[in-house]
Amino acid sequence: MRETVKLISMEGFEFVIDREAAMVSHTIRSMLTSPGGFSESKEGVVTFPDISTPILEKICQYFYWSLQYSRGKETEFYIEPELTLELMMAANYLHT
Amino acid sequence: MSLNKEKTCFILEGWSYIQKGITKLIKIIEGEPEPPFEVTHYMKLYTTIYSMCIQSTDDDYSQQLYDKFRQVIEDYTIYQVLPSLREKHDEYMLEELVTRWNKHNVFVRWLARFFNYIDRDFVCRRGGAILTLREVGLTCFHDLVYRELHSTAKEAVLTLIHKEREGEDIDRELVKSLVDVYVKNGMGTLETYEEDFEIFLLQDTASYYSSKASKWIEDDFCPDYMLKVEEYLTRERERVTHYLHSTTEPKIVEKVQNELLVVVAKQLLENEHSGCRALLRDYKMDDLSRMYRLYHPIPQGLEPIAYLFKQHIIEEGTSLVKKNRRVNELQDKYMVYVIKCFQNHTLFHKASKEAFETLRREGGIEKLE
């Protein structure tokens, strides 16, 4: 089991985050935990050709914020207004 | 998902892509040489379905995809699963059924992952009015495969259980897997297991032990008969833990007890040479304890034994009185039986008490001091 996973945006930006953080997304989680699985799940690389870099970055931040929140650190998660719509759609897509 | 409208998904193109993915999945399930799915491929399939769903302002595409999901499973079942099952018989058919059941579950699980968005969105919004994708998958198996084969499978399983009862070794894991198929096809209830399998098993059990009882009661003395009963009860209980559903245990035990102990009670207990009275005469403490153990769980099982116990005490006491011997030592002697063999049960205390009261009344008071 690898500790980190790599998420790649539409423009090719690579975000390396903790596996635990990535699993906040049910879609990513089901991919990483499929038994009898995927040939690349050992490497933990996922490309999102439809998600732009700023959105993917915000999503990664959200993952970490979500983990902290669930551990009791109840802060607020700020979303820039111009990102809201895309972010919501990405969250829906990723089942987050 | 970026609002990238250049990537408008044409339904036919999208579906054709999904179809290819499904074909690949089926190849993998069937064990054909096929490289495993790559992460990117999975994401693309998921995304294609996702895009198709969010395209429509009404639920038209989602409904179509939902229907296609069911159709894919049905086609797979009808064209590939059923033919392979129909050409096999007996134990081979059972093995194939278990294999197919497992493959079916893997197939549905993967397919449901590709179509996951439909579960989350379309199904969810219908608020329970329609089945989830997993439920659709299970229903397909139930309606197309289970319905056709459950009766034949049941016969084959009962044949195996009969073999095991007669001392042969059978594939217990296979039976366990099959029982699980019955349980799972009940979709949350045990009714399917009970109506399509258990009830027949119980009938078989009753007739099996009925014929055993007829034979043994002719051949064996009471103590040996009881030993056999104890042994077979243990074996049946063990059978349940190995491959039947736990709720079957009391039902099977009841059938065995009925055939081996209740139906033949009179013949067994009142047997002049080896029955209850004989055991009391000969101080057979172990056998009497066994008798108590076997009849205790049965409703009204102990009453006949208590009656025989009482009659025995009265007879013994009366013959002692005739010889002008004292009777009160008898009370201590029989108290030992009540404590050691009959676990201090009130029925036996009562039987003993009534017996000595009868002796007092009929024997005359002066003889008892």
Tell me: the pLDDT tens digits for B216-237? 998 888 999 999 999 999 999 9
What gap in Å lies between CA B133 and CA B62, rounded to an integer?
12
Q: What is the pLDDT of residue B364?
A: 57
* Calpha distance B278→B284 (Å, rounded): 9
- CB-based contact B39 A45, cutoff 8 Å: yes
Residue B368, SS3 per DSSP: helix
Q: Beta A45-47 vs A4-8: how paired, if at all?
A: parallel
Q: Are A25 and B43 in contact (CB under 8 A)?
A: no
- Which band of pLDDT confidence, cut at 50, 70 and 90, is reported for residue B297? very high
Distance, C-alpha B186 to centroid of its chain: 14
Contact assignment for A34 to B113 by CB distance below 8 Å = yes
Yes or no, beta carbons of B3 and A46 under 8 Å apart: no
Q: What percent of chain B has pLDDT over 70?
A: 95
Residues B37-73: pLDDT tens digits?
887 888 889 998 998 888 777 777 888 899 999 999 9
- What count of other Cβ atoms lies within 10 Å of the Cβ of residue B24? 17
Tokens (6 digits) for B106: 């893997």
Distance, in Å, from the CA atom of A12 to the CA atom of B255, rounded to the nearest integer, reads 70
From A66's Cα to the closest Cα of chain B, the distance in A is 20
Which residue is associated with the tokens 């990483």?
A32
Closest partner CB to B50 (pick from A37, A45, A93) = A93
% of chain A beyond a pLDDT of 90: 40
Please name the amino acid found at residue B158.
Answer: L
pLDDT at A41: 47
Confidence of residue B293 (pLDDT cuts 50, 70, 90): very high
- Are the C-beta atoms of residues B252 and B202 closer than 8 Å to each other? yes
| pLDDT given at position B272 | 85
Chain B CA closest to residue A53: B2
- pTM, two decimal places: 0.83
Strand partners, A47: A8
